[in-house]
Amino acid sequence: MASLDNKIALVTGGSRGIGKAIALALAAEGANVAFTYKSASGAAEETSNAIKALGRKALAFQSDAKSFDEAAKVVEGVVKEFQRLDILVNNAGITKDTLLMRMSEQDWDDVIDTNLKSAFNFSKAVCRQMMGQREGAIVNISSIAGVVGNPGQTNYSAAKAGMIGMTKTLAKELASRNIRVNAVAPGFVDTDMTGKLTPQQKEALLGMVPLKRTAKPEEIASVVVFLSSPASAYMTGQVLCVDGGLVM
């Protein structure tokens, strides 16, 4: 029996990159998967079809993760369809990198709202349902940038560090209702985001990674599956760095 048979999962920003890998990994372990996407309808359809090909139900919501009201509507839609919600993965995120002295207020607000406020929006939206069920798992996708900082990413690092603080606090608030809250902090992952780096930048980055390579999105997804499953039943408030040894 798969570890997540008939569980209901919701992944924000699930149409591509790490989010898509997470959605498919959860489905492969038996979960029915709902996910949000902002604008990439073609990618969303591909992800839906891939989930269904694994024999699971898929539900895609076009939604702006920054909007509290839209988050509530998505959760309402998931519960209406499946009558419950077992797993939330707060993955929606963007980057707008530049040094602080050049960073616009809009660059700051967009990244904080998309990466951090969205996690508040969806976590708050699922709380009541999970508390009523007296079980649930929330996994926040943070970053090593939130653990050690990264030049040119003041906004991103602040948002990801905020997710870590939120993870620990929410874990304490929800533990009595058997709801676990953990975070994954990826290092350099082979996605569209890292695809923008020059060969020189990539070489410099890999020079700092003991395993000398980037992660595949599936390697992040497998840790999310672990934190969503009974295998991690006694873990809450933890931050797992999946970074090839970069932060140790």
Distance between CA atoms of residues 147 and 222, nearest Å: 21
Length of the chain: 248
What is the tally of helices (H) and strands (E) in the chain? 10, 7
- Token pair, residue 165, equals 């603080």
Q: Residue 126: which of 185, 76, 80 has the closest Cα?
A: 76
- Which of 156, 179, 243, 246 is labelled catalytic? 156
Q: Residue 125: which of 175, 62, 74 has the closest Cα?
A: 74
**Active-site residue, 156 included:** yes
Cβ atoms within 10 Å of 152's Cβ, excluding its own? 15
Distance between CA atoms of residues 159 and 100, nearest Å: 14
Catalytic amino acids?
156
